[in-house]
Amino acid sequence: MGGWLSEVVRDITRDPQCQEEPLGTAFVLPLAQGIITLLLGVTAMALLNPRDSFTLSLVGIVAAGTMFQSFETINFWFQSQVQSQYTAVAKNSVSLLVAGIRIGLIQVQASVIAFAWVTLAEVALAGLAIGSVSLLQ
């Protein structure tokens, strides 16, 4: 974690009463970036190579995953509270599950699109897992 993200954790740690603004900003910026990435990526692919539906699908699936990075905001809050072990367990559990799925996809010689969907699912599940941890705390 670097740059402005470490600033968010530092600000929340220093002044817990004013955590809404940095957390809100840390959620909205990656979400907006993800939406823009998805729209620009799909639009660029559609304009550059309109007949290549495979690549267009691949770009769309992978770019959609960038929207889920906004859920890392919850992880920032846990880091500021020195409780990031909860989110680490959630994220590692998802990674372990997805690793097993990828091994299965290799065994059945699945398509690249299947791997792209699993990558999207991994990011989405990690976001949901982090969100679930925050609800349980």
| Per-residue confidence band for 5, with pLDDT thresholds at 50, 70 and 90 | low
pLDDT digits over 89-114, tens only?
Answer: 888 999 999 999 999 999 999 999 99
Whole-angstrom Cα distance, residue 59 to residue 53?
A: 10
82: confidence class by pLDDT, cuts 50, 70, 90: low
pLDDT of residue 80: 66
79: pLDDT strictly greater than 70: no
* 15-70: pLDDT as tens digits: 777 777 777 878 888 889 999 999 999 999 999 998 999 999 999 999 998 888 88
Alpha-helical segments (H) within the chain: 4-14, 20-48, 53-64, 72-80, 85-107, 112-136
- pLDDT tens digits, residue range 19-28? 777 778 788 8
